[in-house]
Chain A
Amino acid sequence: MNPLLFALFIQASETTAQGPLSRLQNGPPLSTFMTLSFLLFILGVAGVLTRRNIIIIFMSIELILNAVNLNMIAFSRYYQLAGGGNIYTGQIFTIFIIVVAAAEAAIGLGIVIAMYRNRETVKIDEIDLLKW
């Protein structure tokens, strides 16, 4: 995710809370989605950085992806309400990400199983052959 865009959206969400767009909103405001998404993202990163089981790291990566997906959907909706460009871009993007994540999960699990067969472990701190 482009950090510049992220910052802009934080700004934008602040303005929408009080600005003219808020009356057009049908449901919770954008900031709610963004907060949830942020929490999910942090959870995912923390999982990736701290857990030692590769399977769990995978699951954490899924969390990160889903945080992104949630953001996409939210912004897509927000743009739609603001009369922006192509209203389905974000949603289609999300579907793509889900598909790719599924494929990635399948391959990743295959790698994990192959690794287990070789090393009898899925602990990531025991797999350190690339050390100097």
Chain B
Amino acid sequence: MLQLIWLIPILPLVGAAINGLLGKRVFKNNEKLIGVIAAGAVGLSFIIALGAWLQYTFNYGPSHGHAPFVNELVSYTWITGGASVTTLGHDIGRYLQDGLTIKWAYQIDPLSGVMILIVTGVGFLIHVFAIGYMHGETGFYRFFAYLNLFMFMMLVLVLGSNFMMMFVGWEGVGLCSYLLIGYYFDKQEAGDASKKAFVVNRIGDFGFMLAILAIFSTFGTLDFSEVGKAISTHGYAVEAFGTFGLMSWIALGLFIGATGKSAQIPLYIWLPDAMAGPTPVSALIHAATMVTAGVYMVTRTNFIFQRSGTMMFVVALVGALTALVAATIAFTQTDIKKVLAYSTVSQLGYMFLGCGVGAFVFGIFHVMTHAFFKALMFLGSGSVIHGMHHEQDMRLYGGLKKWMPVTYITFMAGWIAICGIFPFAGFFSKDPILGNAFSTAQYFPNGYGKILWAIGFITAGFTAFYMTRLMALTFWGEYRYNDRALQLEVRSEHVPADQGHDHDKAHGDAEEEATAHEHGPGHGGQFFPHESPKVMLVPLMVLAVLSVVGGWVGWPAALGWQGPFTRWLEPVIAKVAPAEHAQGEHAQLPLDKEGHVVIRKVALQEESTGAPEKEKTDPIEYVLMIASVGWAALCMFIAYLVYIKNGPFAMADKIANSIRPLYIGSKNLWYWNDLWDNKFIELMKRFDNLLWGADSQGVDGGVNGTAWLTRSSSAVSGWIDKYVVDLVVNLVGWFVRIGSVFFRAAQTGFTQNYMLAIIIGIFIPIAFIVLTRWFSQ
């Protein structure tokens, strides 16, 4: 199976090619055929991925010291170049024997093994769901071709053995994201959102590209394992917190790339807008897989990040702040997908917080559990939107559990999981992240870690609150769609910021279309939702089960049994000794010893620590666990009081009025979009105008001047041509015409005239000869 890993990305590519090229003309948009091809390709990939992962984890990995397995069967030299030493100097030559060589080779190691399982597994379920969700679309084949192409790119991203392949995948998923967000290209909103996503991603990609160049010029290679080896054998020291050296610069570039792709502050603004795409796309790309590429990349390059205390703190801080800010925005959103989008941004923040505090394993673990429960909830929301005929405003839902029982039950699993309630998946990944944040002291002073923990802890409560609000507004309470007054109120309200007017307009159009259907929400008529077809419900059920049990592989040792997940991923995480400076500070911190012990146990599981150390579980761990579960439960209860006990809106409005500024700020996304628009983009526009002026005055002036010169000189040469050259030609013509007056008379047309000429021609020479002889004698 290991030798077959090249098939994992290729199969979806083949599916994309078949559906993209033949879908319209040959298959006539036949939904069954196209759906089977698309989902089948991903399903086959999943089977191969599962086989390869099993073989690696239980056979190849342990016997080869957990070294990555690089597929030699289907790999080739993709980019060659021998001039690196010449162009980059002999510093490169130290590491580089035979110049730049980049191979196109797929590699599997614990990290990419987990990632391909997530991508193909969740991807397969979402493909199946999409067959039901996209039923009746004219662009059905196009959708699945894009979706399969996305799978290919994402798998190249996680299976590539070097930074260049990762970059190809990185750009490829960006492209597919653009295509799929803009799937409804006839809607202004979708087109704008896709452009925004692409442009914002480009900003991040710029940083990533610079980082790749820096890595190459530092280490002379782009292969992950080669760079990893070079960085430890050539003794790049750990840059302590507060210093900013080469490693920090590289890490900064990589992290800018990650903020773009994974929607972190300041580049998160594209993700909520990306909800303009079809819901399966939101589930697959903007929740489960693509947006976690940044976390994957940071974990993949952990040997660089771990060598920079400053950047570790930046990563953790950005992650924590993103989690908090996104959660506060999610409080007030009324569009069900927007709430989930901000929730995704918030959860991604958690992942980065985990990476930043050194718990890379739990960052990836959270990627996995989040993929389960967030894909579940996005698909659940897709099921709701499908059942409600594309109504997305939660205020018009309510009481849906009566009509959509399966969706309701499965959604509830995702809700409890994201709230972090034991023993659902979210608990097992979120809690160790917070625990590590609380006790970290390896990269930056423990006091900062405590602050990060506090932010993360508060956010966990916020998450529980707004997710409960979503549940309450959607599934519980009274069914409100047929309330005409409320509907008018909702329709007339335009979300002030967030370019909401475009959204609502497009939304209204969808409404009109739905009305045309037989039982759409007509004006005046009563409308009731319906449960989705089986093809959509089965993926929901599978994901619901995973949201419950998926976290158990990472069961914490503190609760009696050690899950295998940390052991699997541990070999990927480089063991970097803390910087001298950090250790010095470490000694001064009050909680140093305990903190240190906890890291060793929870985060890194360094060395093969035996049972005795496991028994010494820090009591603070239990305290943290109980505290976070209790806090989440408390927030859920508050949300219950606000949205269930006291009606869906009455008490919420009262609270909103009492903290009016905060409410308005959250509703308007903290004016972050406006900041981008008014400050950065306006500035850029002004700069562009300046350039435009230079262009129109300077460059165009030059061009026009040249044109004028050409015109004048051509006028002169035209005059010469007309009056001199033509004159000569005409003179020749006149001469011939005048001359011909005499000569053409010879051509009489009488044969005898010609005869006479011949005879005269004969007789004149003869006469001449005869006469000259005559007289000379």
Contacts and interface: CB of A to CB of B under 8 A. Distances in A.
Interface stretch (B229-237, B363-371, B406-414, B746-754): B746-754
Contact of A127 (B751, B755, B766, B769): B751
B769 A7 contact: yes
A98 B759 CA distance: 22
Contact of A131 (B748, B756, B762): B748
Contacts of A63: none
A49 B752 contact: yes
A45 interface: yes
A4 interface: yes
A6 to B, nearest CB: 7
A127 B752 CA distance: 11
Contacts of B766: 3, 6-7
A125 interface: yes
Given A3-B762, A45-B759, A49-B756, A128 B750 contact: yes
Contacts of B751: 124, 127
Interface in A1-57: 3-4, 6-7, 45, 48-50
Interface of A: 3-4, 6-7, 45, 48-50, 124-125, 127-132
A130 to B, nearest CB: 5
B770 interface: yes
Nearest to A128: B749
Contacts of B590: none
Contacts of A6: 766
A129 B766 CA distance: 33
A132 B744 contact: yes
B749 A48 contact: no
Contacts of B762: 3
A50 B756 CA distance: 10
Contact of B748 (A4, A50, A128): A128
Contact of A7 (B750, B752, B770): B770
A131 B747 CA distance: 6
A131 B748 CA distance: 5
Q: Which 9 A-B pairs have the closest CB atoms?
A: A131-B749, A128-B749, A3-B766, A132-B747, A132-B744, A130-B749, A124-B751, A7-B770, A49-B752
The binding surface of chain B is classed by DSSP as helix
Interface string B741-777: 0001001111110011001001001100110010000
B747 A3 contact: no
A48 B755 contact: yes
A55 B687 CA distance: 101
Nearest to A125: B750
The binding surface of chain A is classed by DSSP as helix
A7 B765 contact: no
A73 B641 CA distance: 149
Interface in B702-756: 744, 747-752, 755-756
B773 A7 contact: yes
Contacts of A7: 766, 769-770, 773
Contacts of A131: 747-750
A7 B766 CA distance: 8
Given A7-B769, A48-B752, A131-B749, 16 more contacts: A3-B766, A3-B769, A6-B766, A7-B773, A49-B752, A49-B759, A50-B752, A124-B751, A125-B750, A125-B752, A128-B748, A128-B749, A129-B749, A131-B748, A131-B750, A132-B747
A49 B759 CA distance: 9
A1 to B, nearest CB: 9
Contacts of A50: 752
26 contacts: A3-B762, A3-B765, A3-B766, A3-B769, A3-B770, A4-B769, A6-B766, A7-B769, A7-B770, A45-B759, A48-B752, A48-B755, A49-B752, A49-B755, A50-B752, A124-B751, A125-B750, A128-B748, A128-B750, A130-B747, A130-B749, A131-B747, A131-B748, A131-B750, A132-B744, A132-B749
Nearest to B768: A3
Contacts of A48: 752, 755
B737 to A, nearest CB: 13
Contacts of A128: 748-750
A4 B769 CA distance: 8
A48 B756 CA distance: 9
A87 to B, nearest CB: 28
Nearest to A45: B759
A48 B757 CA distance: 12
Nearest to B746: A132
Interface string B106-127: 0000000000000000000000
Contacts of B770: 3, 7
Contacts of B769: 3-4, 7
B338 to A, nearest CB: 95
Contacts of A132: 744, 747, 749
B642 to A, nearest CB: 114
A132 B742 CA distance: 12
Nearest to A48: B755
A125 to B, nearest CB: 6
A45 B763 CA distance: 12
A129 B762 CA distance: 26
B501 to A, nearest CB: 87
Interface string B47-64: 000000000000000000
A132 B748 CA distance: 7
Nearest to B754: A130
A130 B769 CA distance: 34
A131 B759 CA distance: 20
B744 A124 contact: no
Interface in B62-82: none
A132 B773 CA distance: 41
Contacts of B744: 132
B288 to A, nearest CB: 95
A79 B744 CA distance: 48
B197 to A, nearest CB: 84
A81 B178 CA distance: 117
Contacts of A4: 769
A89 B744 CA distance: 45
Nearest to A10: B770
A119 B194 CA distance: 87
A7 B777 CA distance: 14
A111 B90 CA distance: 98
A49 B766 CA distance: 19
B645 to A, nearest CB: 119
A128 B748 CA distance: 8
A132 B743 CA distance: 10
Contacts of B756: 49
Contacts of B752: 48-50, 124-125
A63 to B, nearest CB: 14
Nearest to A6: B766
Nearest to A50: B752
A129 B770 CA distance: 38
Nearest to B762: A3
A19 to B, nearest CB: 18
Contacts of B755: 48-49
A129 B748 CA distance: 9
Contacts of A45: 759
Interface string B14-56: 0000000000000000000000000000000000000000000
